């Protein structure tokens, strides 16, 4: 169901109850009672939706309780159910709510909680991001090995002490490397955005142990772990982070780098998911 007012914006609402309703909507819209894997598409990763398998249902995310219209070009507001050749059901989420939209963490992680409520035990989070390592040219896919959450926010409410050791599953990173041994990995720093980082902020991220800068994923990964899911995170380096590259950053550049790299990284991701 679409809602003029998002039910998650009611502070008295239970976000897990709303996620359960959303999962019911998805079961009805797809005719698929349970999904095994969920995949959130960031910029540059869109083509993997077609390569993962056969799409058996596709509909606007706004048909599902709690989802909002996409705020951004390059982000497709579509949900799909895809059947892999090995018979796994993948819920492909082409609709991401970013923290910088200002609707709060509940809205940001609703797709993850919904995916968990559909039965998915594996959460694959992809994004387009800035690279700090000089060896990562735009177009390079990188595994996320860990994150630093610089948003100051959390999807967890109250005394919810969740362990984040091995949040980005070593098993799934190894699986990805078995498909492409050249895959590098790094620590993802989630900034609030929407402004890109200053060069000084990128230097800070580097000094505290970061290799990738972006505006998504960390909050979603936390919610996925809370839901007991195994997480695989992958960044497409769309640009060298501010100050690493000397030219100004632009959203257009990010979109174009994504478009160019899309066929290669999407087929890589499809093979990784196919091996799950
Ligand atoms: N910083 C933050 N987010 C991004 C970047 C970046 O350099 N590139 C793409 N998304």
Residue among 150, 196, 212, 248 whose CB has most ligand 1 atoms within 8 A, to mutate:
196
| CB-ligand 1 contact for 214 (6 Å cutoff) | yes
Instruction: Tell me what pLDDT residue 113 has.
Output: 98
Instruction: Tell me what pLDDT residue 88 has.
Output: 97
pLDDT digits (tens, 9 = 90+) for 96-109: 899 999 999 999 99
pLDDT of 1 strictly over 60: no
Contacts of 198 (CB under 8 A, 6+ apart): 242, 243
Per-domain boundaries in the chain: 7-275
| CB-ligand 1 contact for 239 (6 Å cutoff) | yes
| CB-ligand 1 contact for 130 (6 Å cutoff) | yes
Closest-CA residue, ligand 1 atom 9, reads: 129
Spacing, Cα 190 to ligand 1 middle (Å): 10
pLDDT digits (tens, 9 = 90+) for 12-71: 999 999 999 999 999 999 999 999 999 999 988 989 999 999 999 999 999 999 998 766
Closest-CA residue, ligand 1 atom 3, reads: 214
What pTM was estimated for this model as a whole?
A: 0.95
Instruction: Tell me what pLDDT residue 72 has.
Output: 60
Average pLDDT score over residue span 138-152: 97
Spacing, Cα 210 to ligand 1 middle (Å): 13
Query: Per the annotation, where are the binding residues for phosphate?
Result: 43, 75, 96-98, 128, 216
208: Cα within 13 Å, side-chain hemisphere: 16
Average pLDDT score over residue span 3-18: 88
CA distance linking residue 96 with residue 125, whole number of Å: 10
* Closest to 210 in 3D by CA, of 126, 137, 146: 146
Among this protein's residues, is 197 annotated catalytic?
yes
Instruction: Tell me what pLDDT residue 73 has.
Output: 55
Contact 255, 73 (CB under 8 A): yes
| CB-ligand 1 contact for 238 (6 Å cutoff) | yes
CA-CA distances (angstroms) from residue 269 to 45, 166, 177, 202, 235?
8, 20, 11, 27, 11
pLDDT of 145 strictly over 60: yes
pLDDT digits (tens, 9 = 90+) for 170-190: 999 999 999 999 999 999 999
Q: Strand 212-214 relative to strand 140-149: parallel, antiparallel, unpaired? A: unpaired
Average pLDDT score over residue span 209-219: 98
Average pLDDT score over residue span 125-147: 96
For residue 2, what pLDDT band results from cuts at 50, 70 and 90?
very low
pLDDT digits (tens, 9 = 90+) for 224-274: 999 999 999 999 999 999 999 888 888 888 888 888 899 999 999 999 999
Second CATH level (architecture) for the domain 7-275 = 3-Layer(aba) Sandwich (3.40)
> How does the average pLDDT of the chain come out, rounded?
93
Q: Which residue is catalytic, options 185, 197, 201, 220?
A: 197
For residue 75, what pLDDT band results from cuts at 50, 70 and 90?
low
Within 10 A of 157 (CB to CB), how many other CB atoms are there? 9
| CB-ligand 1 contact for 136 (6 Å cutoff) | no
Spacing, Cα 35 to ligand 1 middle (Å): 31
Query: Per the annotation, where are the binding residues for a purine D-ribonucleoside?
Result: 197, 239
Spacing, Cα 95 to ligand 1 middle (Å): 18
Instruction: Tell me what pLDDT residue 78 has.
Output: 92
Spacing, Cα 130 to ligand 1 middle (Å): 4
pLDDT of 76 strictly over 60: no
Average pLDDT score over residue span 203-228: 98
Contacts of 57 (CB under 8 A, 6+ apart): 29, 30, 31, 32, 80, 81
Instruction: Tell me what pLDDT residue 3 has.
Output: 43
* DSSP letter, residue 168: B
Query: 3-state secondary structure string, 220-270?
Result: HHHHHHHCCCEEEEEEEEEEECECCECCCCCHHHHHHHHHHHHHHHHHHHH
Query: Per the annotation, where are the binding residues?
Result: 43, 75, 96-98, 128, 197, 216, 239
% of the chain with per-residue pLDDT over 90? 86
Q: Relative to the CA of 239, which ligand 1 atom is closest?
A: 8
| CB-ligand 1 contact for 254 (6 Å cutoff) | yes
């Amino acid at each position: 169901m679409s809602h003029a007012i998002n039910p998650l914006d009611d502070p008295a609402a239970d976000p897990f109850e709303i996620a359960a309703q959303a999962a019911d909507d998805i079961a009805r819209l797809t005719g698929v009672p349970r999904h095994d894997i969920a995949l959130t598409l960031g910029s540059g990763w869109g083509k993997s939706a077609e390569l993962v398998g056969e799409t058996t249902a596709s509909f606007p995310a706004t048909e599902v309780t709690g989802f909002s219209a996409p705020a951004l070009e390059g982000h497709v507001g579509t949900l799909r159910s895809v059947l892999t050749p090995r018979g796994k059901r993948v819920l492909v989420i082409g609709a991401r709510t970013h923290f910088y939209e200002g609707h709060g963490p509940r809205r940001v992680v609703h797709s993850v909680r919904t995916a968990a409520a559909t039965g998915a035990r594996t959460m694959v989070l992809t994004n387009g991001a800035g690279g700090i390592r000089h060896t990562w040219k735009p177009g390079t896919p990188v595994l996320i090995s860990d994150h630093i959450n610089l948003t100051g926010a959390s999807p967890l409410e109250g005394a919810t002490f969740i362990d984040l050791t091995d949040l980005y599953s070593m098993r799934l990173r190894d699986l990805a490397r078995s498909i492409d041994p050249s895959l590098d990995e790094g620590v993802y720093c989630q900034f609030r955005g929407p402004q890109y980082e200053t060069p000084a902020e990128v230097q800070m991220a580097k000094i505290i142990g970061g290799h990738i800068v972006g505006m998504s994923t960390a909050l979603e990964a936390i919610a996925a772990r809370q839901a007991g899911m195994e997480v695989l995170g992958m960044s497409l380096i769309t640009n060298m982070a501010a100050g690493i590259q000397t030219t100004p950053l632009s959203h257009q550049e990010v979109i174009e780098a994504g478009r160019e790299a899309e066929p290669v990284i999407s087929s890589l991701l499809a093979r990784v998911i196919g091996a799950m």
